[in-house]
Amino acid sequence: MSSERKPTFAIIGAGMSGLLAALKLREAGYEFTVFEKADRVGGTWRENTYPGIACDVPSHLYSYSFELNPDWKFLASPGAEIQEYFEGIAKRYELEGSIRFNDPIVRCDWQGEGWEVEGGSGFVGHFDWVIAATGILHHPKHAEIPGIEDFAGDLFHSAEWDHSVALEGKRIGVIGNGSSGIQITGTLAPIASEFTLFQRTAQWVVPVEQVEYTEEQRAEFRSNPEALQGLHDELDQSFHQGFGNQVLDSSSDIFEGMRTVCNNHLDTFVTDPELREKLRPDYTPACKRLVVSHNFYDSIQVPQAELVTESIERIEAGGVRTADGRLHEFDVLVAATGFHVDAFVRPMAVRGLDGVTLDEIWKERPSAYMSMGIPGFPNFFMINGPNSPVGNFSLIRTAEMQFAYLMMLVDHVKEGGHSHATPSSEAAVRFEDERTEAAKNTVWATGCRSWYLDDRGIPFVWPFPFERFTQEMEKPRFEDYTIG
């Protein structure tokens, strides 16, 4: 590619990372097309609309650093407010005209000097670079329980909520007690005639107060950008230098402090001793993703609510049969059973050098150099790809740094009069070996089952301190790439 011609970009996904890439490319004067499988922007916040959905990170941290929002209404914003924020970004930066809605990518083929990209609509385009901003929480993991197709009531996954179903006064069952299941419980248990939460593993629940910002506080943020920036920076520093780094050391004292705080909260707010012990975890806090809630313990104790820890044997027309032989009857059954977190860009077909497919490369498990690039796939980079810091750093901060890294790589290639860059196999193996060893010492590897673990039981998240991530992203190791 001539150094005089600006490269073109295909962006896959119009969620948080995809919008970030689009608006930054627009600022830099690059041509791009965003391919979005749905009819709106928003990603996970568009898809997940279940009752009670909210971010478990403070709103003023879950914002682009260059687009702080003075009008967050809550400390931890509901999903609809976050969706509104991203829709506002798309409008303000006039991005919607560059997005192909309802057009999921089905195929990406490397053509020697660039990528041929095909959308589900039949559209075929050619681009120099592909940015996969598909995220990890977008392929629902449906419950695989015998008899599930026999249920006679309303049944849906938490990420595929059927808002046509009336809920008040109904008999409601929820399978799964991760963040989604607990948020749903907090909202629906008080309005159901009967409510049952099926729990496989107890969760560490971090107590928070749902703070609502007053109009006066929001007006102060609007009139005083320095105060708003100060709040963001304070939250950022606390999050990344505190919890974000502490979880990387399984022997850290922070976990005993968490245990004490969470147990005190449990002991104080759950009055029934039998229920209290069912809710008490027996593993290290933060081994699984911590659950943040202001109303779960209140809601699971309403008279019509029940916590069931017996394993599910099967589902029948009338409800759920547990291993003790009991049939739990429901009108509505919700599967809060999470996502296929190892899918990333799949199921789209991605074919790189020599016709090698991504499915072949990732046959055992997904991996990526610096969580972004894959040997054999030139100019194909992911934001928040495999082994990104999904469990300890802010995803928005991570995405911003990864995109800036990619732009430094693009500039390096262009300034050298070249057309493409590919991580070398040696660099990728070196990084993955180091990452795997470091992951074994993190809190996520202390013995619990969680979606952070790969097929070997090794955490697949970034296991190094925030400073290491910052250093890697601020200065790419160009020597780790094959550039041509």
- For 148-204+248-335, CATH number? 3.50.50.60
Distance, in Å, from the CA atom of 306 to the CA atom of 196, rounded to the nearest integer, reads: 5
**Sheet strand arrangement including 319-322:** 312-315, 319-322, 327-329
pLDDT of residue 120: 96
CA–CA distance, 464 with 357 (Å, rounded to integer): 29
SS (H, E, C) 353-370: HHHCEHHHHCCCCCCCEC
- Alpha carbon 320 to chain centroid distance? 29
Same fold across 8-139+340-483 and 148-204+248-335: yes
Q: Is 214 exposed, middle or buried (0-12, 13-18, 19+ CB in 10 A)?
A: exposed
Q: What is the distance between the alpha carbons of residues 386 and 365, in angstroms, rounded to a whole number?
A: 9
What was the pLDDT predicted at 3?
54
Q: pTM score, two decimals?
A: 0.95
| Per-residue model confidence as pLDDT tens digits over 167-209 | 999 999 999 999 999 999 999 999 999 999 999 999 999 988 8
Q: Which stretches in the chain have pLDDT values below 50?
A: none
The Cα-based distances of 252 to 205, 243, 457 in angstroms read 19, 10, 21
Distances, alpha carbon 50 to alpha carbons 127, 166, 455, in Å: 37, 13, 29
Q: Write out the H or E segment, with its range, that includes residue 100.
A: strand 99-100
Question: At residue 388, what is the residue type?
Answer: S
**Chain Cα centroid distance, residue 95:** 23
**pLDDT (0 to 100) of residue 390:** 85
pLDDT of the residue at 1: 52
Task: Give the residues across from 423 on adjacent strands.
Answer: 481
pLDDT tens-digit series, residues 372-405: 999 999 999 999 999 999 878 889 999 999 999 9
Backbone φ/ψ region at 369: left (φ over 0), alpha (ψ -120 to 50), beta: beta
Q: Which CATH architecture has domain 8-139+340-483?
A: 3-Layer(bba) Sandwich (3.50)
pLDDT, tens only, 345-380: 988 999 999 999 999 999 999 999 999 999 999 999
Supply the DSSP string of 453-479, one letter for each residue. B-TTS-B-S--S-HHHHHHHHHS--GG
**What was the pLDDT predicted at 83?**
97
Say what the pLDDT of residue 207 is: 87
Question: Scanning the structure block, which residue is given the tokens 């097309």?
Answer: 33
Among 10, 25, 27, 54, CA closest to 345? 10
Q: Where are the domains of the chain?
A: 8-139+340-483, 148-204+248-335
Mean pLDDT of all residues belonging to the chain: 95
